[in-house]
Structure 1
Amino acid sequence: MDEAMVFALALEVGSAVLLTWLTWRAANGSLARNDLAGVRTRITMSSDAAWRIGHHAALRPTVISGTITVAWCMVSIGLAPLRHPISVLVAAGALVSGALLSIRVAHRAIRRASLED
């Protein structure tokens, strides 16, 4: 069971790193609008400008939630009592919460930018 928990927590770390990296790439313009990766909502997909503005705004909450997820997972891997399914769920909850917050922040930034135009 211990090995399975370490594996699951390591997968969470990989997911957090991947999500943060993709958001960073979209925010700096090196990941164009696509149907596979990034914040893909009707609003963010409406234009290239909306894609970049949204991801630029989403980067901060994504980095924060990714950092929290990685830190929690590393502590959980290091401390045997925390190698438990609940630790995996906490990590997943942190990552999903950050993603949902990122979407909200992205939409708000895009709306604010469209009002300024």
Structure 2
Amino acid sequence: MKLCPTCGENKDETEFNKNSRRKDGLQVECKTCQRTRNSAAQKKLRKTRDSINDPQVYETASTLLEQFTKDMGVIDVVGVAHDLREFYPEASDLVISDAVMKAFEKLVTEMKEETP
């Protein structure tokens, strides 16, 4: 019998995956708790991946970047990222940086096209 620290239950050793690096040769968590934790992590990762392509975050980034550039005469991607963080507090850093970079690339392309 072995205690799973996550669920607090004493379980048979067959309820634990193997881990040759541990003294007892078994994982710390039972298979059920490990499955639950992995499933939650996968859902979080899927949500992050889906939100990276969120057009609303991108459009807001694009609008903010254009406004910052027009008002201040400089391209301020850090300021835009900061404002996006306030508008979308649930968005991950990856989503914010991806939206800012896409908006930045769009703005630079438009500026190049306008230059004779």
- Sort the TM-score into its range (normalised by shorter chain): 0.3 to 0.5
Structure with the larger helix share:
1
> TM-score, length-normalised on structure 1?
0.33
> TM-score, length-normalised on structure 2?
0.34
Q: Which has the larger radius of gyration?
A: 2
More relative contact order in 1 or in 2 (CA 8 Å, sep 6+)? 1
